[in-house]
Every structure is written in structure tokens, then in C-alpha cells.
Structure 1
Amino acid sequence: MFFILCGVANPGPTPEEKAAIAQKAAAKAEAKAESEEAKLAKNKAEEAADQEAERKKQEREQIAVKEAAAREQKDEQNAEGQQKAQTPEQWTVDNVVEHLNKLDALNGKGKFTDQYDFPSQIVKHDKSAHGKTNLRDAYVVQLSIVDSSDGSITNDETIKDMAFHIVQELHNHQKNIAFNISLVELHFPNTDNEYGAGGVNFIVGMNVVQEYFKKPRTSMVSVDKATGETVELQFDAASFYEWIEVHFTMPEDERVLAEDTAWTLISDKAKP
């Protein structure tokens, strides 16, 4: 007996199956596309984060460079300031009055003025006006002084005190003075006169000043006229005025060098 085997033909996927397959493929493709897009977005985000990190790093480096430069500049300024503080400013013909004001050479009792015919200034030594001098390139310190209310200073003790403190400051800062001083001429103008005429003058040469400060006052003694006691001389207005009296010179004596002058209208020796 013969049997004939007959196969059943595969009818293939049904329309529903085809649709499901297509839908699945589409979903897979969509998922793949989304995955690629997410991956691309992730890469972009990472790249952006790296760029931001690099930007911040560069920004920090720039800030650090600026801060270092600022510190260096500040250190240089501090060093320069310390150097200036350690190096005294020079006294020139243009700033002597300014320095004397800073030092309060008048002790708050008066001020320098330019209102009258004898302004406060530093002038070149003139033989015809100031006498002979052995100093080269010499200058005269001319100062005109009034009280704090622009009035005349007539009290002798006040004048002596101001004269002492002015020459003391000039002596103390002599190393910083950029020129040779032959004379210090102090004028206390009569403010009732429009030209300041009729005031008091106090003129002293720098040699006289230097000799006064040369020896310690404690090594020098004098006799008190009132008590007869021996007293030590100190660096003060009284002893400086006494020094002027001892070394007093007359303006008409042409043998006296300007730097050796010691003269004031306060002294009885200056009166006829």
C-alpha cells in the first residue's frame, strides 16, 4: 500500500501578524533613534560641561594671576612707602616753609605770611644785600611771621621762642637741606603798616647757629645775674638769645661774614 504524503503549504503571516511585526520594527527603530538621540544629547551635555569646567578653570587662573599681580603691586608700593619713610624728604628752596609748618616750628603761636614787602621765601645770597660769605652757592632763609589772627607779634619772649625753634629745626634737618644757608632772616612785620615796615627783625648766621648747638648745653655754665649762682645752659629760647647777645654783631661791620651774623632789634645793643 502506498501512502502519499501531502504537505500543507505555509500560508505566511496574517495581516494582523504583519502589522504587529511592522509595529514592532517601527518601535525598535524608534527606540534606536531615541537611544542615538539620547546618546548624542548626553555627549553634548558632557562636552558642554567640560567646556564650562574649562572656562571656570581659566577664569580661576585669570583671577589668580590678577590677585598675584595686585599683591605684587601692593608689596612694591609698601616697599616704596617704607623706603620713602626711611629716606627723609629733601628740603629745597621751594618747600622749606612747608617743612617748617609740618614741624609746627612756630608752636601754634603764629604763621608765615607773604602779605608784606618781605615775603617768606628762600633767596639767593646777594653780597650787596646780605654781606660777604665764604659759602658757595649760598641762600638766605627769609621768613615773615604774624600771629594766628594776621596781627603783629610784639612780645619779645614770643619772638625769641619762635626764633629758637626755627633755627633748631633748620639745624636738626641740616643733612636733608639741599642747599647752603648763609643767613636766617626773621621779620615780624608791623601789620598796621601796609608794607610791614616798623616791625622787629631777628637775623642770625648759620655758623652762629651751628656753634650754639655744637657743644652740649650741660657742659657750659653761666652765672645767674639775679642770684649769682652758677647754672647750666640748656637748648632753649633763653640760652639761644643769650648766645646771640654774646656774639652780637653790627650790620655796618663789613668785616663780619653773613654766616657769622648775630643781630636783633630786641637787643639794647641794636639801639642807638
Structure 2
Amino acid sequence: MSGTELAAEIVRTTADRAAEFERRTGTKPCLATVLVGDDPASVTYVKMKRNRCAKAGITSHHVPLPEETTTEQLVATIRELSADPTVHGILLQHPVPAHIDERAAFEAIAAEKDVDGVTMHSFAAMAFKEKGFASCTPGGIMRLLDAYDVDPSGKHAVVIGRSPILGKPAAMLLLARDATVTVCHSRTKDLPSIVRTADIVVAAVGRAEFVRGDWLKPGAVVIDAGYNEGNVGDVAFDEALPHASLITPVPGGVGPTTIALLLEQTVTAAFATLG
């Protein structure tokens, strides 16, 4: 399942919409990126997102903050961006340094600018199928399933991982599409036997090649949402390939769709300001 091809299609459409917004308003959609500290991986991710913004006709307003920034200072910065009418979307690059209350920082993002889908408001909207922004990686996963004609309705989906911005929202989005969802985690007993019952597997555990090929039910659809050192995902790809009917590679699977959805939702947020 190529996320690269799907992402390119989403970005093309997004760029057309961004150009239309600029024609109507004289300004481009604007995404504010906030980065605390200088973690090399986070710096790279933010740079990549800003480059993609430029290619899609979206202004990127970057706010770098020092490592010693407090929760209170970060919250104040995000609230300023939330109140700024020239900013349409806000991305707080995560994880933040350990001394910061990440949830408090996320909740400072105005719901209408939460284009990364990280607030409790966005989570509730996903769970209740209400208007709002999807968490970008889970939202990208759903777009991949749609692109490859995988209908979750009536299928058993096993999500491995329960993070608030990946595992849990992925489970909610699948449930909203009438899948029967099992959420597994580090304390799940006999995990392989549960995974073997899955029609759809979403691996989001953050451990390299954790899911083995013989865990999979023949014909399962496998979504690898992990990215680990050595350019490998959470699924042992070569082992899984003979068992899966469809599988996302790492890299080139879920990652590109995540960024594409961030751009798409930024432009959607911009248009929402027009009423």
C-alpha cells in the first residue's frame, strides 16, 4: 500500500485549494509550527513539514523555543497563536521535553486550529463522528484503507498501541466505520493469538519489527504506523509479506499520508475562516 502515491494526490488537491484561498483572500493558508528544544529528529521532521508546506502553497510560520521553556511559557505561546487571525493551523512538534506537560500544551491549541488532531476536542469529534480534525496519522491510515478499497465495516481490527494521538484515535476512527475493534498494549496477554484473529492490523507500538509474520491471519491487511531506528517499522515486513493481502512499507507507507493530511486540514481550517 503506497502512501507516497496517495500523499502526492492529496497534496496536489490541497495545493489547488490553497491557490484558490489565496485568490479569494490575497493571503496564503498559514501553518504555525512550534518546536521546543533542538532534538535532531524533531528538527528534521519540522523542516520536512515546512518544506511540504511551501510546495503546497501554504505559509509556514516557525516558532522555535529553547529547551528550558516551561509549560506556562509554551502554553502562552500557543494561546497567542490561537488568537492570531493570520494563523490557520497550529502544529506542536512532539514529543516535547520531559519537564513539559504535553497535554496542557496540546489543550492550549484552539479547536478550529488543531490541524494535527491532538486535542481532547478533536478526539471526541473522531469518536462521535462529529465535525473536527482527525489525528493526522490515524486519519492517513483511514485514507489508505479507502484508497485500496478496504472497507472496515464488519471486520475485526486489532490496534496494537494506545497512545492518545495514534492508537486510541485509530481505534475510534475504525469503530466509527463499523469495524469491531480490539486495542492491545504492553500488558495484553497472549498478543499473537489476538492478532491472528484480525482482518486489519494497525501496529503502533513503537518497537522495531515487533509484530512477526506468523502472528498474522492469512489475507490480513497490515498497517505499519511505526518508525524506528534503522528505517524499520513495527512489523517484520519480510516475514509479514507472504501472509498479508496488503501491507504498508516503512518508509513510504503511513508517513507520507500523515504529512499530506496535515496540509489538507490546514487549508480546510483556512477556508473555515471565510464562513
* TM > 0.5: no
| Higher RCO (Cα < 8 Å, 6 or more apart) | 2
TM (norm. structure 1) is 0.23
Q: Highest Rg: 1 or 2?
A: 1
TM (norm. structure 2) is 0.23
